Amino acid sequence: MPAVCSGKILVTGANGYVATWIVRMLLGQGFTVRGTVRSEAKAVSLREEFTQDSDRLEIVVVEDMTKAGAFDEVVDGIDAIMHTASPLHYNAMEPSEIIVPAVLGTTRVLESALAHGNLVKRIVITSSCASVMQVQDTPRVFSESDWNDAALAEVEEKGVLATQQTKYRASKILAERAAWEFTKENKDNISWDLVVLNPPYVFGPPIGRTATLESLSESLRDWYRNIFQGGKTPEELPVVGQCWIDVRDLADAHILAMNKQEAGGERIVVYGGPFKWQDWVNAARGCGAAVPLGDKSYDPAKAAHYVLYDTSRAARLLDIKYRTIMECTRDTIEDFKGRGWI
C-alpha cells in the first residue's frame, strides 16, 4: 500500500500519554487529526491543549470502544489510523478485565476500517515489548520473531492469581495477534496495510496543562517514584531495570511507520536501549536534581542486562534517532519543575 504523507489521521485514545505527542507532531507536520476520547471532559482538555490548531483538530467521544460499530462513523474520510487506545493498569482481578477491552478495542477499529474506511491506506497499532520478551535469568536478545507465550501460559494456569504485569502482557499479546489475524483473514478485502510498533517502558515529559502526578502513565509514575520518592532502595537501583524509549521518539516512530511505504505489513520493535534505575538517578543528579546518590560504585559498563532487543528492523525501515537517558531526564525534570512537582 502507498505511504500516507498527508490528509486526515485518526488517533484513538488521543488524550493518552503517547497519543497526545502523536497529535502534536501530526498537527506540526500539517496533518488534520480526528482524535477519539472516552468522555467530553477529556475532549475539553484536549481542545484546550491545541487551541491554536482547532481548525485541524476534531475530537470525537467514543465512550465504549468494545461495542460493535464503535468506530464506524469516525473512520469516514480518514487516510490513516493510529490505534493507541488500550488499557494499561495493574488492578485487574480477572484477566478478562484487561484482556477483553484490549482485544475488542483493536478488532473494533479494524472492523470499522474494513466496513467504512474506504480511504484508509495504513493502520499503525501501538503494541508493546510485553508481547515480545519473556522474563528470564540469562541474557537474551529478542526480535520481532519472538512472542511472550510464557505470559499466556501463566494467565491460563493461574487466572486471577497471575501477576498484574503478566495479565497486562497477555492483553498486549492477544490484542496484537488479533490484529494480525484479522488482517490475514481479510487480506483480499482491505484497502490498507498494518504496522505494529512494540515499545518497552516509555519515559519523557508529558503533554497536558491539567496533568497531575496521579494522572501520569504507569511508566512515568514509576519514573517519578523511583527517582524522586525513593521507590527503589540503594541496593535495587543498580540491579533493577528494563528497556526504555522516549515518548517523543515513540510518537515520531508512529508517524514514520505511517509515511514510510516499506514499513507496511511489518512488526517493529522500537527502543532507546536498556537501563538500570541507577542510570536515571545519575542522570537526574547530573541535571542538578537533589536526589539520593544511590550506589556510588555503580559502573554502567558492567551492568548485566537480561533483556535486549535487535533493532535492525527499526533502523532499516524507520531510520529513527533515539534520545539519550540524559536528554530524556533533562527535559522531564524541566517539565516537572514547571508544574511544581519537584
Overall number of domains in the chain: 1
Q: Report yes or no on 295 lying in a domain.
A: no
Instruction: Tell me which amino acid residue 237 is.
Output: L
300 belongs to a structural domain: no
What pLDDT does residue 208 have? 86
CB 30: neighbour CB atoms within 10 A? Answer: 10
| Grid cell listed for 58 | 476534531
CA–centroid distance for 253 within its chain: 10
pLDDT at 214: 86
CA separation for the pair 144, 314 (Å, rounded): 10
| Residues near 191 by beta carbon (within 8 Å), at least 6 away in sequence | 1, 117, 118, 119, 120, 121
Q: Is residue 94 part of a domain?
A: yes
Q: Is residue 334 part of a domain?
A: no
Q: Divide the 342 residues of the chain into consecutive groups of 10 and give the mean pLDDT of each group.
A: 88 96 97 96 91 94 94 97 82 81 96 96 97 90 96 91 89 96 96 96 91 88 95 96 97 97 97 97 96 94 94 96 97 96 92
DSSP secondary structure string, 11-39? Answer: EETTTSHHHHHHHHHHHHTT-EEEEEESS
pTM equals 0.96
Q: Return the amino acid letter for 306.
A: Y
The answer to the question of residue 219 being in a domain is no
Opening angle at CA 299, ends 298 and 302, nearest 5? 125
State the pLDDT at residue 89.
Answer: 65
Do the domain assignments include residue 144? yes
In a domain, 124, yes or no: yes
Torsion sign across C-alpha atoms 1, 256, 63, 55: negative
Query: Could you tell me the residue range of the domain that residue 192 belongs to?
Result: 8-205+244-272+309-322
**CATH code, domain carrying 147:** 3.40.50.720
Q: Is residue 339 part of a domain?
A: no
